Amino acid sequence: MPRKSTRLTFAVLATGAGVFSMLQSLIAPALPTVQHALHTSQSTATWVMTAYLLSASVFTPILGRVGDLMGKKRTLVAVLAAVLVGCLVAALAPNIGVLIVARVVQGVGGALFPLSFGIIRDEFAAAEVSGSISNLSAVIAAGGGVGMVAAGPIVSALDYRWLFWLPVGIVAITVLIALRYVPESPNRAQGKVSWRGAVLLSAWLVALLLPLSEAGQWGWGSARVIGLFAAAAALFALWLRSEARSRTPLIDLRVLRLPAVWTTNAAALLFGAGMYAIWSFLPGFVQTPSSAGYGFGASVTASGLLMLPMLLAMFLSGVLSGRLEPVLGAKTLLTTGAALGAVALGFLALWHDAQWQIAAVAGVFGLGIGLAFASMANLIVGAVPPEQTGAATGMNANIRTIGGSIGAAVTSVLVTGRLQPSGLPYDSGYTHGFTLLAVLCAGAALAALLVPVGRPTRLGTPVAAGTPEVPVRVR
C-alpha cells in the first residue's frame, strides 16, 4: 500500500517527465535563432538535437536498470539534478560547444520515464497503477506538443535562452519535493550493473543513431555512414552475446523475448517512426512559402498553433485511456492508436491544401499518440517482473526513439531528395513521405494485433542460481 501521498508522488513524476519531454521538441523550432546567436553553421547547430538524442538513448535503459538495482528514488533525484544542471549550463552557454555538452547532460533525463513507471508500480495501489501510468503517459506525450507550441512565443517575447531558464526553476522545485516526499521503492533487483553490457549498449546505439541523424549531411553512401552501420551491427551482436552470458545482464534478453514485450516493442518501433517524423516535418511543411505550390508561409508561432489540436488530443486521449483500459484492454487501445495515426497520415498525404486539414490531421494523430503511449507502457509493465520494470520500460522508450530516428531519416530522403530551383522540396516529396509514415503506422497496428492477451508467462529471474521463476500475467 502507498506509504506517502500518491498524488504528490505523481505530481513529481509528471513534472520531471513532462519537462524532459518538452525539452525534446522545445529547441527544434529555435535552431535557426541559436545558429545566428552563437555564430555557428547549420550543420553544427543540428548537434544540439543530435547530442540530446544520443545521450537519452544511452542513458534511458542504463539508468532504468540502475534504478532497479540501487533504488528508484535515489536514481530519480540524481537524474533530475542532472537535468537541472544541463538546463542551467545551456541557459548560460557562451558558445555552441558548451550548449551541445549541456544537451548531453540534459539527455540523462531520458531515464525519468522508466524510473517513473517503476515507482508507480511499486508505490501505488494495484487498482491505481494502470490509470496512473496512462495519465503519466499522457503528460509525456503532451510535453512534446507543448514544446512545439510554446517555442515560438517564448523566443519571440524573451530569448532562446529562456527555453532553458524556465525549466531550471521548475526542475529545482521538483528535486526538493522529490527528496522529501517520494518514498524509496522496496523492490530491488539483485546483482550489480553490467558495465560491459552498458558500454556495448551505448556503443551500438551511438553507431546506429549517429549515421541516421547525420546521413543527410554526410551522404547515405559515404564511408562514415556505411562504416558506422557496419560497426553498429557488429557491436549489437557482441552486446547480445555478452548479455546472454552474463549472470546479471543490463537488459535481460529473456524479458525482451516475452511475447507481450517483443510485440509491443515492434509496435513501438514502427509507431515511433511515424510519430517523430511527423513532429519533425509537419511544422516545416506549413512554414513553406505558398510560392512553392504548397505550404502556408506560417511563422514559427503560427505553425506551433496549428499543432495545438495535437497537443490537446494527446493529453485528453492519454487520460481517457486510463479509464478505457480496464474495459477494452491495452492491446485494443494500442491497435486503435496506431490505426488512428495511419488514418491521419493517409488523409494528410491526400489532402493538405488548407490549414483546417492540417489542424484536423494533427488532432486525429494526437488521439492516436495518447492512446499508444499509455497502452505501450501498461503492456510492458504488466508483462515483466517488478524488478525488471525500469530496464524493460527504458528499452521500450529507446526502441521508440530508434524508430523515430529511422522514420525521420527516411522521410528526409523522400522530402529533400529532389528540390525545386528555389531550393525548396517539391510537394510530391512530402506526399511520398506522409504516405510512407501512414504505412509505418499501419504496420504498428498490425504488430499490436499480435500482442497476446490473458495468457500467463513464466520468466526465470536471471540474478542468482536456484532463484525460483516468477509468474507474470500479460494483460
Q: pLDDT band at residue 442, thresholds of 50, 70 and 90?
A: very high
- pLDDT tens digits, 254-299: 888 899 999 999 999 999 888 877 877 888 888 889 888 898 988 8
Q: CA 248, 250, 252: angle at the middle one, nearest 5?
A: 75
User: What is the distance between the alpha carbons of residues 378 and 278, in angstroms, rounded to a whole number?
Assistant: 24
- pLDDT tens digits, 340-376: 999 999 999 999 999 999 999 999 999 999 899 889 9
Percent of the chain's residues with pLDDT above 90:
35
- List b or e across 53-84, with b for residues whose CB sees 16 or more CB atoms inside 10 angstroms: bbbbbbbbbbbbbbbbbbbbbebbbbbbbbbb
Q: Quote the mean pLDDT of the chain.
A: 85
User: What is the distance between the alpha carbons of residues 443 and 469, in angstroms, rounded to a whole number?
Assistant: 34
Q: Is the pLDDT of residue 454 over 90?
A: no
297: left (phi over 0), alpha (psi -120 to 50) or beta: left
The predicted structure's pLDDT at residue 462: 35
The three-state DSSP-derived secondary structure of 420-453 is CCCCCECHHHHHHHHHHHHHHHHHHHHHHHCCCC
CB contact at 8 A, 20 and 111 = no
Phi, psi of 454 (to 5 degrees): 70, 25
Q: Is the pLDDT of residue 459 over 60?
A: no
User: What is the distance between the alpha carbons of residues 400 and 85, in angstroms, rounded to a whole number?
Assistant: 26
Alpha-carbon separation of residue 277 from 148, 283, 377 (angstroms): 14, 11, 21
Alpha-carbon separation of residue 322 from 192, 219, 317, 319 (angstroms): 35, 44, 9, 6
Radius of gyration of the chain (CA): 21
The predicted structure's pLDDT at residue 188: 72
The predicted structure's pLDDT at residue 189: 67
In the three-class reduction of DSSP (H, G, I as helix; E, B as strand; rest coil), residue 42 is classed as helix
Kindly give the residue spans of alpha helices, DSSP state H, lying in 158-258.
Answer: 162-181, 195-218, 223-245, 253-256
The total number of residues shown for the chain amounts to 475
Q: The C-alpha cell of 318 is what?
A: 492519454
Query: Quick one: how far is CA 301 from the chain centroid?
Result: 23
The predicted structure's pLDDT at residue 463: 35
Inter-axis angle of helices 355-383 and 308-328, nearest 10: 40
Please say whether the dihedral angle defined by the alpha carbons of residues 45, 48, 54 and 57, taken in this order, is positive or negative.
negative
CB contact at 8 A, 136 and 112 = no
User: What is the distance between the alpha carbons of residues 365 and 313, in angstroms, rounded to a whole number?
Assistant: 8
Mean pLDDT of the region 128-151: 83
**291 residue type, one letter:** S
pTM: 0.81
- pLDDT tens digits, 12-42: 999 998 888 888 878 877 877 888 889 888 6
In the three-class reduction of DSSP (H, G, I as helix; E, B as strand; rest coil), residue 419 is classed as strand
Q: pLDDT band at residue 464, thresholds of 50, 70 and 90?
A: very low
Q: The C-alpha cell of 82 is what?
A: 542532472
- pLDDT tens digits, 83-118: 999 999 999 999 999 999 999 999 999 889 889 988
CB atoms within 10 A of CB 1: 7
**27 residue type, one letter:** I
Residue with cell 507550441: 149
CB contact at 8 A, 120 and 59 = no
Q: Any bridge partners for residue 425, and if so which?
A: 419
Q: pLDDT band at residue 473, thresholds of 50, 70 and 90?
A: very low
Comparing 153-167, 295-309, 435-449, the range with the smallest average pLDDT is 295-309
What is the enclosing helix (H) or strand (E) of 458?
strand 455-460
Q: Is the pLDDT of residue 443 over 80?
A: yes
- pLDDT tens digits, 175-202: 999 988 888 877 776 767 778 888 898 8
Answer with the residue of higher pLDDT: 298 or 230: 230
